Amino acid sequence: MADTASQSRIEELLAGLNAPQREAVTHGDGPLLILAGAGTGKTRVLTHRIAFLEGTGMARANEILAITFTNKAAQEMRERVERLLGRRTRAMWVMTFHAACARMLRADAHRLGYTRQFTIYDQADARRLVKRSLDELGVDTKRFTPGAVHHQISDAKNKLRDAEAYSRLVGSYFETTVADAYRIYERELHRMNAMDFDDLLVNAVNVLQLFQEVRDRYSTAFRHVLVDEYQDTNAVQYRWLQLLASEHRNLAVVGDDAQSIYGFRGADIGNILSFEETFPDAHVVKLEQNYRSTQTILSAANAVIAHNREQKHKSLWTNLGQGEPIKIRELDDEHAEGRYVVGEIERLVDEGASRAEIAVFYRTNAQSRVIEDTLVRRDIAYQVIGGTKFYERAEVKDAIAYLTVLGNPQDVVSFTRIVNSPRRGIGQTSLGRVIAHADAMGISIWQAAAHADQVPGLGTAAVRSLGRFMDTMQDLRERVEQRVPIGDLLESLLHDTGYIDALQAERTIEAQGREENLAELVEVAREFDATAEEEADTLDVFLQGVALVADADTRTDDEGLITLMTIHNAKGLEYPIVFIAGMEEGVFPHSRALDEGGLEEERRLAYVGVTRAMRSLYLTSARRRAVFGATQYGMRSRFLDEIPPQLTDRADEPRIRAGVAAQRPGSWASSSSSTRTETAVPAFRMGDDVAHAAFGAGVVTGVEAGGIVVVRFAGDGSERKLMAEYAPITKL
Ligand code: ATP
Ligand code: MG
């Protein structure tokens, strides 16, 4: 029963909502659907509903399962709930699909033949294993790349097709090869007690499907299931939710069909569009007020998405005012683009913006490097979300592989990674013999290596090296069993295995950097130790956490950091100031998507990007860009042209050399009469009073494309054309 204190807390909770939001939050039992545009408070409704369910006693904290897609979004959601509920949030499952499934499997995977210590393979590990499977088949991996084959397998898994089902469906030579590789890949994963990311979902579904008692346990445990970004669920996620919620039917989903951006990974927009067919009694709520963006940003987003044919019309409005125009800038190349973006960031920060308010988005991960380099040169702190920045580094992956082997002695992939790193004179051939022996005897790679003298065909030197190596590993393994803190374990591991010594012997700046990264990893482990529960199996809990953040490097101390990420990773997030770089045909929309008929999905992605911005939005493009070493000349993105000119402020930046200063046909200045041409740095306008180092005082009488300013000088009455960027002129 709600007492007066909690009564007033609930009133306070509801006071921050508009009428339809309140309707959704206070909805009782039964299915609930919110299908609404960006920034209308869908996520806010979910977090408030969670607080409402808990506050009114409709559900206890641990009876709520709240799911979203990315680590960053999950972290944001958890923080929002925590602000409403405080510490009680701790008992709650607010996490990604993958994290929730991994957690379930830690308890129940043994039913499927795994141990509790199963390893989670990231994309790179999985790809390596696919390569081994292709090698075993004798397939030419230049023709059928492990990447392409893994993509097919992953796609099949997300459609809940196992190797058998897949092989029955396919016909082409490529596909039958994939089917064979899929079979071997599965066999190998099982043998190594490992799962790839897709398996987390598939196996969670399997365990719920095959074991009635598991299904009963979870559907009783989670009386309310809430899902954000429901438009991006795929078949396996859909199935998992059905299994969990079909009994009590307390399933609340929110989403926006215009923001469906994972079709390429098998997301099915139909899941949200047919929700009312699945649940005919679903309560449906519409939200139309956007609380995030200025009218200018919203109108631009609406104009872009209106070009899609498959589009449920939604009318969005905001009362945040018109705001400033969208800044569109075309630069010479990606370096000029980076300089422009970073220059603007510096200017904005000088003017009082906080770094945490600023985000830079791009279509493909590779675009981040130039922007990162520019930021580093200007000494501006930044973070890359989802960019595999830290955990991708070789030394970090090595250290993790060592820990993984200590946790899971069957893991051949991790063992292979570390056995000769640092070099111990254990070559490919020796390793191959050990693996073959393990296979033949049906023992783990650890056991085989620990008794290297029994491995047929192994040279004495290799036997000795392996012996020393395994002695060290055995000692470390005992420390694992004694449950020493992970930080301590990692530190002694790095020393005892000779890893640090090898780096120090290199005496290079690079090796020093690697050492620093490892120190940082020890710090990560210490932070984990400080918060770990007393519970058993701390090493795998640690490794599981690492595996899950490995390709979504989420730092919590994002105070004062510029944020960089792909637009895919930005889904659900919001920033006062947003830059989207690389607005060129072929980059965005991406050429691959264009080839595959995915233009509408690219446009939805543009809609997602634009609607992240609250106050200021910059869209930049480069005339020239190096892509995989080759220079490409891209046309500006069609999405730029889909934004009505009256919402934008378009300008060319000054050309680098006078020789190219002539206006290019088709550039914005000539293609649209309403555009304004001005120089980017520094901004001169007609009528500005200026001073020139040699010619003295003057007034700007014209501004031309390519960064040319025309100045009439008071001294001799002459009119001169100058390059704004290089001429020694200052505005008075
Ligand atoms: P997206 O489609 O991008 O995921 P969304 O629909 O989930 O967006 P939210 O992130 O929940 O939208 O809300 C957008 C912003 O508007 C947030 O800053 C949120 O706090 C704010 N907001 C939403 N509803 C209200 C409200 N009723 N009063 C004040 N602020 C609100
Ligand atoms: Mg949201």
CB 126 within 8 A of CB 199: no
Domain with CATH 1.10.486.10 in the chain: 390-552
Average pLDDT over residues 367-392: 74
pLDDT of residue 433: 95
- Does 42 qualify as catalytic in the annotation? yes
- The pick from 14, 22, 44 for probing ligand 1's pocket by mutation, whose C-beta has the most ligand atoms within 8 angstroms, reads 44
CA dist 296 and 473 (Å) reads 61
| Type of residue numbered 638 | R
Domain with CATH 1.10.10 in the chain: 119-192
- DSSP summary character for residue 619: E
390-552 has which fold? PCRA; domain 4 (1.10.486)
pLDDT in tens, 140-179: 887 887 878 998 999 999 999 999 999 999 989 999 999 9
Q: Is the pLDDT of residue 708 over 80?
A: no
pLDDT of residue 387: 54
- The pick from 21, 75, 228, 292 for probing ligand 1's pocket by mutation, whose C-beta has the most ligand atoms within 8 angstroms, reads 292
Identity of the highest mean pLDDT range in 79-83, 226-230, 330-334: 226-230
Q: Active site residue: 63, 125, 198, 228, which one? A: 228
Q: Is the pLDDT of residue 255 over 50?
A: yes
pLDDT of residue 113: 93
Rounded to the nearest integer, the mean pLDDT of the chain is: 86
CB 585 within 8 A of CB 625: no
pLDDT of residue 146: 82
Q: Is the pLDDT of residue 534 over 70?
A: no
Q: Is the pLDDT of residue 619 over 80?
A: yes
Task: Name which residue sits closest to atom 19 of ligand 1, judged by CA.
Answer: 41
Nearest to 555 by CA among 516, 520, 515: 520
Q: What percent of the chain has pLDDT over 70?
A: 89
Q: How confident is the model at residue 105 (pLDDT cuts 50, 70, 90)?
A: very high
Ligand 2 centroid – CA 40 distance (Å): 8
pLDDT of residue 722: 75
* Range in 5-19, 87-101, 416-430, 617-631 with the lowest mean pLDDT: 617-631
Three-state DSSP string of 234-275: EHHHHHHHHHHHCCCCCEEEEECHHHCCCHHHCECCHHHHCH
CA dist 406 and 398 (Å) reads 13
Q: Is the pLDDT of residue 519 over 60?
A: yes
Average pLDDT over residues 277-283: 93
119-192 has which fold? Arc Repressor Mutant, subunit A (1.10.10)
Q: Is the pLDDT of residue 662 over 50?
A: no
pLDDT in tens, 19-36: 999 999 999 999 999 999
Q: Is the pLDDT of residue 723 over 90?
A: no
Question: Which is more confident, 87 or 648?
Answer: 648
CB 619 within 8 A of CB 328: yes
Q: Which helix (H) or strand (E) holds 648?
A: strand 648-652
* Range in 56-65, 555-564, 598-607, 628-637 with the lowest mean pLDDT: 555-564
**Shortest-distance atom of ligand 1 to CA 80:** 20
Q: What are the pocket residues of ligand 1 if the criterion is a CB atom closer than 6 Å to any ligand atom?
A: 16-18, 21, 38-44, 256, 259, 291-292, 572, 574, 611
- Does 398 qualify as catalytic in the annotation? no
Ligand 1 centroid – CA 48 distance (Å): 11
Q: Is the pLDDT of residue 661 over 60?
A: no
Average pLDDT over residues 611-615: 97
Backbone angles phi, psi at 574, to 5 degrees: -145, 145
Q: Is the pLDDT of residue 594 over 60?
A: yes
Nearest to 566 by CA among 556, 549, 547, 580: 580
Alpha-carbon distances of 724 from 659, 668, 679, 709, 732, rounded to whole Å: 14, 19, 7, 6, 14
Ligand 1 centroid – CA 67 distance (Å): 17
- Does 314 qualify as catalytic in the annotation? no
In this structure, the strands spanning 630-633 and 613-627 are: antiparallel
* Range in 419-423, 483-487, 575-579, 708-712 with the lowest mean pLDDT: 708-712
CA dist 500 and 586 (Å) reads 44
* Range in 5-9, 419-423, 471-475 with the lowest mean pLDDT: 5-9
Average pLDDT over residues 657-686: 38
- Please give the CATH number for the structural domain made up of 304-385+557-655: 3.40.50.300
Domain with CATH 3.40.50.300 in the chain: 4-106+202-289, 304-385+557-655
Average pLDDT over residues 683-705: 77
CATH 3.10.50.40 fits 4-106+202-289, yes or no: no
Q: How confident is the model at residue 515 (pLDDT cuts 50, 70, 90)?
A: confident
